[in-house]
Amino acid sequence: MRRRKAWAGVVACLLLMAACRKDVAKAAGPPAAAPPFVIKFSDPGNAGVLAYAKKTGRLDAPLAAVNARIEWVQAAGAFSANFEAMNAGAINTSGGAVSPVIGALSHNLPFRIFAIYERARSRQAGVIVPGTSPIKSIAELAGKRVAVNLAAHGDYLLLRALERAGVPASRVERVAIQPPDAAAAFATGKLDGWSTFGIFFNTAVRNGARVLAYEEDLESDDVGILSANAASLATNPAAFDVLLRVVQELTLEARQSPENFQNIFVSKGPTAVSGPDLALAIEDTRKLPLPHAPTAEDRVHIAAVAKLFYDNKSIDRPLTTDQVVFDLGEAVRAKGTAAVVQPEKPQAL
């Protein structure tokens, strides 16, 4: 009898607790609706996961479910070339690498990293010289003029290459020039070298430039990222959570069918790739890294980029990882905004 009475008491308590939880939930009401919001993303160009999302409208419905939408903004193909648009609010979200976000923060542009990619093994970035140059190694750049987008990815690649070659950065003249302008200066022989990436790198190599160092050989800490204006991230973190999850899904699709993620809008012209360049792009897409929320290990890599820049006067003040990284998960939980059921975070293949 005593046992029966005890169990009856336990059951009564559990029922009472359940009733209390229902009353509290009823009083609290449903999660607050997210405020209307527009992600203003720098245009992704003619290839890749985001270009595919733009063409197919893959982001439209999930973003609408959290009261948001995306607007693609025509912009230069480098994060550091878009500071003016970012400062004006014309762009509030961008892909890129760790380095330009650090450079932006050092100039009081409040962009922060909310997602970071696994380390890639890309042969579409590095340090190059004209095909007619007598320079055959990174060490031979001492005393030469090399173009970089200062405090951004090209700058990092050169500094990393010099560091690994044992050459003090002070022995090389880094010419601060954005990639679109650097392309013309390099092509006309006004520069001894160029540290660059993406379409700028591929075009120069296709036109005869010689590669002194590929990014994949540098053990680069300057990995890909997704970033946004800090105020925008705080306004509707659920929208950025949707963006990250859709990019994860499409990255896995791109690995399986990489040819579908090339020449998305046009197959001819200056933004299209063909021949060996297309084969290289397809191979890179097959091993495309996944983005994820920054981990403790990622923070170590971010700190290494910031230190390299500060040590070599690319930035004029040290930055901590807390100044660079935005905790999207925490912000979503704190806001408690309603959202559609999202797919589970994909696992790396």
Domain-wise residue ranges, the chain = 37-118+222-335, 125-217
Domains 37-118+222-335 and 125-217 belong to one CATH topology: yes
Q: Are 227 and 29 in contact (CB under 8 A)?
A: no
* Pair 83, 105: CB distance under 8 Å: no
Report residue 57 as tokens: 């409208």
Q: Residues in the chain, how many? A: 349
Residue 344 gets the label, from left (phi > 0), alpha (psi -120 to 50) or beta, of: beta
Q: What is the C-alpha separation between 318 and 304, in angstroms, rounded?
A: 11
125-217 sits in which CATH class?
alpha beta
What are the per-10-residue average pLDDT scores of the chain (349 residues)? 44 41 38 78 93 97 97 88 91 95 92 92 90 97 97 97 97 95 95 94 94 94 95 96 98 98 94 88 92 96 97 95 96 71 37
10 Å Cβ neighbour count for 54?
19
- What does the H/E/C string look like for 8-19? HHHHHHHHHHHH
Say if residues 157 and 222 touch (Cβ distance below 8 Å): yes
Fold of 37-118+222-335: D-Maltodextrin-Binding Protein; domain 2 (3.40.190)
pLDDT at 33: 63
Residue 10 has a pLDDT of: 38
Q: In what order do the strands lie in the sheet with 210-214?
A: 173-176, 145-148, 193-197, 125-129, 210-214
DSSP-derived letter for residue 325 is B
Q: What is the pLDDT of residue 21?
A: 38
